[in-house]
Amino acid sequence: MARTQIQFTAEQIERLKDAAAERNVSVSQLVREAVDAQGERSAQAARLQRAVRMSAGKFRSGRPDISRNHDKYLAEDFGD
């Protein structure tokens, strides 16, 4: 493992210590898990963005004015 130094506010370190004690893990382990979780969320967001881009233009609404009146159609569909 690589060592690094991170500075936290007093409030942040207290919250970290409390959370680590509650889970019976070290603060370092808690921080590593948070970094891993953030990386996974970023990877998941990237996969979702790719899927959205790949689906663009592949569906037809049957409405010629959908780009101008999309808010109206969304409100109708969601009962807003």
Q: What is the DSSP track for 21-49?
A: HHHTS-HHHHHHHHHHHHHHHHHHHHHHH
* pLDDT in the model for residue 63: 87
List Cα–Cα distances, 21 to 17, 26, 29, 54, 73, in angstroms: 6, 7, 11, 45, 51
| pLDDT tens sequence across 19-72 | 999 999 999 999 999 999 999 999 999 999 999 889 888 888 888 898 899 899
pLDDT the model gives residue 37: 94
- The SS3 of residue 7 is coil
pTM: 0.59
The pLDDT of residue 60 is 83
